[in-house]
Amino acid sequence: MCGIIGYIGKREAAPIMVEGLRKLEYRGYDSAGLAVLSGGRIAVRKCSGRIQDLQSHLAENTPSGVSGISHTRWATHGPATDNNAHPHTDHSGNIALVHNGVIENYQSLRDVLEAQDHVFHSDTDSEVLAHLIGYEYYKKTEPDTQERLLDAVRAALRWVKGTYGIAVLHAELPNVMIGARLGSPLVVGLGKGENFLASDVSAIVRHTRDAIYLNDYDLVAIGPNDFDVYSLDGGAAQFEVSVVDFSEEQAELTGYPHYMLKEIYEQPESVLNAMRGRLSIEESTAVLGGLNMTAQELRTIDRIVLTGCGTASHAAMVGEYLIESLARIPAEVEISSELRYRNLPTDRDTLMFALSQSGETIDTLAAMREGQRKGHRVLGICNNVASTIARESDGGVYMHAGPEIGVAATKSFTSQVTIMTLLALTLGRMNHLSASDGKTIIDELKAVPEKIRTILKQDAQIKKIAQKYARSKGMLFLGRQFNAPIAQEAALKMKEISYIYASGHPSAELKHGIIALVSPETPCVFIAPDDSVFEKNVSNIEEVKARRGPVIAITTEGKTELERICDDVIYIPKCPDYLSPLLTIIPLQLFSYHIAVELGCDVDKPRNLAKSVTVE
């Protein structure tokens, strides 16, 4: 979840790394630092706080040099302090390392090294890895060479249990930087007379769009003009040079105050991109060639398991309703962090889908591998074409949502739900949906982007409602059927960025205990579109109002009767039940956003969170 950027070339390294760290700050922002090869030694500058704190720290004392490594931290072992910030050096001070991941056996390794008189200056697991590389390096007395450093990194990593994405420098080797990856993403950026290492291409896309996405157990040695990729066992490794599919401009704010608001407003286009080229009017179905399955193979599927974490799991829950409703195939959602350790009974003809915006979510990746280990076909739904899930899955569907920088997921959620709808349509047309049914679904899907634009025009009204409730101590979000997962997703958004306690539930569960929380100080947000359970939702709203609870309703245009019983009402355009989640979530994203802004919260970098969860 931490961010790494390394540079080796002809330009001053420090400014390039600081700029890159700003692009990676969504991955962690507890502390930051850099190490530059300067005058035959490693100059380290680091501090707790945000990138701007590091920049202030560097203002009067920026090390000069053309190669360096840098890091922005999301704390795992040890609090956010200057000493725990990366980079870390080995016992000699000649080797510097930045690390993303978790070394699970760090304490036993530390005990071994302390017995060898190594002195540690932090509470981190990462410093142990720096010392371990130094220990292996200085076991030998041969001349300083790239091969000696590679061998030391390779030997050190064989001791390690856990995950890592690392970049390593040696003071006596100015023309080489070593990287390695297991479980934590690492990409090599290829420039002209310069090369890069980074956790994410967003940090380097300004300088190059040619990238190599390292695989697990890969090591790389890069210089200004060359690179070599190796396997941990010492041989050469296979790699592919990819072209980054987005520009620097797409990852910029472009006039918005926050990335989250920008990404909310990008949803008409991102939803359109998710279905672009995938709708067949002639066949009244969706065309998902990336599934790598024939129609005959898809027809044999008798059960679908959807897995993801956080927002992706909520998109999967909507997918469960969609698949069972439109395709009549049993579907279930398993939280990835639980599935990876469960012995889930699965039939031979079970198909699994792994949902992850980044394609690097460690729990989802582990759940996918567990499914494959049991002989199931596992397909990925992710936004990063070159991610680990995209590369290791048996097929899948790309979201094409463009970069999502805000930590709180917005457009990735609606893109995932759109793809779930396309999947349900595809499977439904193979089972019981008629051609006219399929055409109706396609026509309704194509209308969704413009309907989202209509909702966005209510932003000012939603802002006023948000300001009214911003000082609430807690909130309840309630919905039924297709919108039960939306209640959970809306509650998650509220918790993530405003720090207001919120919980999401099926509306009918209100009377099974949740109603005890209803009070004049606890607003209830009801997602009550004009659907098959609208009257049931109205009854639940009446129960809340009878107990003097404030109610905000999200409902369909024309359902003005809710204005008589609710304190505030936000309208969405008419749509079928199965597409309502794509519309009801939009005002709820704006609602959470404006509450967080009103409270002065850091919307794009909420406390304790990071965007891509690559550690367990």
Output phi, psi for 239, to 5 deg.
-150, 165
The tens digit of pLDDT for each residue in 268-304 reads 999 999 999 999 999 999 999 899 999 999 999 999 9
**Parallel, antiparallel, or unpaired: how do β-strands 3-8 and 67-73 relate?**
antiparallel
Q: Where in the chain is the domain with CATH 3.60.20.10?
A: 3-244
pLDDT at 340: 86
The one-letter amino acid at 496: E
Q: Which two tokens stand for residue 594?
A: 């404006």
The tens digit of pLDDT for each residue in 125-136 reads 999 999 999 999
CB-count burial class (<10 Å; 0-12, 13-18, 19+) for 121 = exposed
pLDDT at 616: 60
- pLDDT at residue 27 is higher than 70: yes
Q: Where in the chain is the domain with CATH 3.40.50.10490?
A: 248-456, 458-603
- pLDDT at residue 356 is higher than 90: yes
Measured at the CA of 452, the angle between CA 450 and CA 454, to 5 degrees, comes to 75
With pLDDT > 70 as the criterion, what percentage of the chain qualifies? 99
Mean predicted confidence (pLDDT) in 47-63: 91
Mean predicted confidence (pLDDT) in 517-523: 94
CATH for the 248-456 domain, from 3.40.50.720, 3.40.50.920, 3.40.50.10490, 3.90.1490.10 = 3.40.50.10490
Output phi, psi for 16, to 5 deg.
-65, -40
* CATH fold for the domain made of 458-603: Rossmann fold (3.40.50)
Distance, in Å, from the CA atom of 567 to the CA atom of 549, rounded to the nearest integer, reads 9
Task: Out of 15-29, 84-98, 152-166, 182-196, pick the least confident.
Answer: 15-29
Output phi, psi for 601, to 5 deg.
-80, 155
Residues 6+ apart with CB under 8 A from 30: 48, 49, 73, 74, 75, 80
**Parallel, antiparallel, or unpaired: how do β-strands 195-198 and 3-8 relate?**
antiparallel
Secondary element (H or E) of residue 421: helix 411-430
530 alpha carbon, distance to own chain's centre: 33
The pTM of the full predicted model, rounded to 2 decimals, is 0.86
Q: How many helices (H) and strands (E) does the chain have?
A: 18, 26
The tens digit of pLDDT for each residue in 547-580 reads 999 999 999 999 999 999 999 999 999 999 999 9
End-to-end CA distance of the chain: 10
pLDDT band at 471 (very low <50, low <70, confident <90, very high): very high
Query: Please, are residues 586 and 267 in contact by the beta-carbon 8 Å criterion?
Result: yes
DSSP letter assigned to residue 62? P
Give the residue numbers marked as catalytic: 2, 611
Asked: is 3-244 a CATH 3.60.20.10 domain? The reply is: yes
